[in-house]
Structure 1
Amino acid sequence: MNVALRSLALAFALALVGACGGSARPATPTADPLAGRYTATGGGGAIAAVNALAKRFSESHPGVVFQIDETGSDAGVNLATSGGVDFGFTSRALTASEATQLSAVGIGLAGTCVIVNAANPVKNLNKEQVRQIFAGDITNWKQVGGQDLQIKVFIREANAATRGSFESYFFGGKATYVKDATEVFELEQTLKAVGSFGASIGMATASSRTVSETTVNVLTIDGVAPSPENLVNGTYKVGRPLLIVVPSDAAKVKPAIKAFLDFVRSPEGQKLAASTY
């Protein structure tokens, strides 16, 4: 083989090696079109499910980052309506007026429960006893089988979904509370307050967070525990829907949020949300 042919063969061989990837650069990964930072806010009753759903979605879309805050159901509804956040979440049903401006995706049910300090021997109250305690008609734990201690009542803030569902069931509407009842804000403050006062009682969302708190006990009401099963089958009566809400106008909903809501609606998403309660 002459020199020219040998040179041509060598050049061909080198080109072939290069074509087979010997020196080829790796392909640039395609950017996720959903990537970005997104905000959400709403009621504490729904936040465990929302956090779990957002975490799972971000695992499939690492470029998607959620900032999730607990500000109350009313704030979640108002900010979702105004566009102040990318989506809101609530632990109550939408009003007729709100439903004309927002679309909702259900993520489960939340019970409203009654909690006492972990040192309290009382494990069950009936519906009327609860009403009488919070109204100030029963003022000492010995009146319901407990110790001889004056009852300290903690209630949620006026616009809280927890308080609204509590009043609806136990009072049949707006409640008149004992005069020295102390108002607390959000679930964590409620747990801290009741867990710090041995003779206290309060209202809270019946979530995994509440049940796992070792400083308080969740009471049964008329012998029925606020478990997810009892909420679904209707034997526990104090429940409310958990919702993610976005503007009804689809043009105002970002593509990433639409994709997130598709995941939320899926069997996997619904199962994940249910596992948080």
Structure 2
Amino acid sequence: MHKHHFGGIITVCLLLLFFLTGCQNNSSRITVVGSSAMQLLAEQAGNDYRLAHPSSNIVVQGGGSGTGLSQIQAGAVQIGTSDVFAETQSGINAKKLKDHLIAVVGIVPIVNKDVGVKNLSLTQLQKIFTGEITNWKQVGGKNESITVINRSKGSGTRTTFEDIVLKGKKPVAAQEQDSNGTVKKIVASTPGTISYISFPYANDQNIQKLSIDNIQPTNQNITTNKWQLWSYEHMYTKLKPSKATQDFIDYMLGSKVQEDLIPKIGYLSIKDMKVERDSNNQVTKIGN
């Protein structure tokens, strides 16, 4: 009986140990949700971080900036990623979130290679996305109908694109897609199509990147705002994130990510910027 009782204690102790270990792993789980423009960077950094910190547990998902902001506000995730400032989104209380600026990403209009156009003026681009220009021959291309592919409503990339290109005008009714990868595939395979994606996804020979007013879509041109289609990549946390979450944010802001990974996969480090932009899209020179 005494022996049996002792065995019972061991079983309880093992169960308790198992339970505590399980809880510990769970508390170190960091779920990152939101911007599809930032997904590539977050996934790669998350993989590198896991290799260096075997006890960490980082899960990265897309879903769009709107989803990232609402999920972090609800406390459903540890990090919400966004291409737009939280204060610009209705229903989001930015004062209860902490903003970590991680990188800058460019946005580029892309077309199917068959349309015969490599450059548009900003006005022409606007008129295509508002439905005023409907055939490629109107902008020096083929006699072919224009098919607009837009991004989903919660997309931060779409918000930035429409703020800078449409300037408050109503977008044409169009098919909507929520991920950069899907948009790229559709444009590459469908004659007459136009859309826009983030720079890191645009390194593909099967699509035609457009210049705007003869300005090339390069990271160098973003640093001075010569190329105006760009946004910050934000990681939002609660005001007091867990230690595990803060450690990962610190890693994202550290030299390994900022100096090595970010330029390697096509983003821009904040440190490279010669201008900054506020939540109202007002651009000022850094140092002024």
- When normalised by structure 1's length, the TM-score is 0.80
Contact 2:110–2:194 (CA under 8 A) maintained in structure 1: yes
Partner in structure 2 of residue 94 of structure 1: 86
Partner in structure 1 of residue 143 of structure 2: 148
Matched pairs, number: 239
Q: Which runs of 5+ in 2 are unaligned?
A: 1-20, 267-288
CA distance, structure 2, for counterparts of residue 220 and residue 233 of structure 1: 16
Partner in structure 1 of residue 100 of structure 2: 105
SS of the equivalent of 1:81 reads helix
Deviation digits for residues 109-162 of structure 1, max 9, x if unmatched?
122221101233211101000011112221111111111111111111122111
Say whether residues 1:80 and 2:72 are aligned partners. Answer: yes
Q: Looking at CA atoms only, which structure, 1 or 2, has the larger radius of gyration? A: 1
Partner in structure 2 of residue 232 of structure 1: 223
C-alpha displacement of 1:212? 2.1
Aligned counterpart for 1:178 among listed residues 172, 175, 186: 172
C-alpha displacement of 1:235? 0.8
Partner in structure 1 of residue 207 of structure 2: 216
Q: Cα distance 1:177–1:258, how it changes in 2: closer, same or farther (>3 A)?
A: closer
One-letter amino acid matched to 1:276: I
Deviation digits for residues 56-94 of structure 1, max 9, x if unmatched?
221210121211110111111111122101211111222
Larger displacement relative to structure 2 (123-132 or 37-46): 37-46
Contact 1:153–1:202 (CA under 8 A) maintained in structure 2: yes
**What is the root-mean-square deviation in Å for CA atoms of aligned residues?**
2.1
CA distance, structure 2, for counterparts of residue 125 and residue 135 of structure 1: 15
CA distance, structure 1, for counterparts of residue 150 and residue 99 of structure 2: 28
Q: Which runs of 5+ in 1 are unaligned?
A: 1-30
Partner in structure 1 of residue 44 of structure 2: 52
Aligned counterpart for 1:37 among listed residues 23, 26, 29: 29
C-alpha displacement of 1:274? 3.7
CA distance, structure 1, for counterparts of residue 73 and residue 124 of structure 2: 39
CA distance, structure 2, for counterparts of residue 265 and residue 188 of structure 1: 26
- When normalised by structure 2's length, the TM-score is 0.77
Partner in structure 2 of residue 187 of structure 1: 180
Partner in structure 2 of residue 132 of structure 1: 127
CA distance, structure 2, for counterparts of residue 258 and residue 41 of structure 1: 16
One-letter amino acid matched to 2:37: G
Runs of 4+ in 1 over 6 A off after TM superposition: none
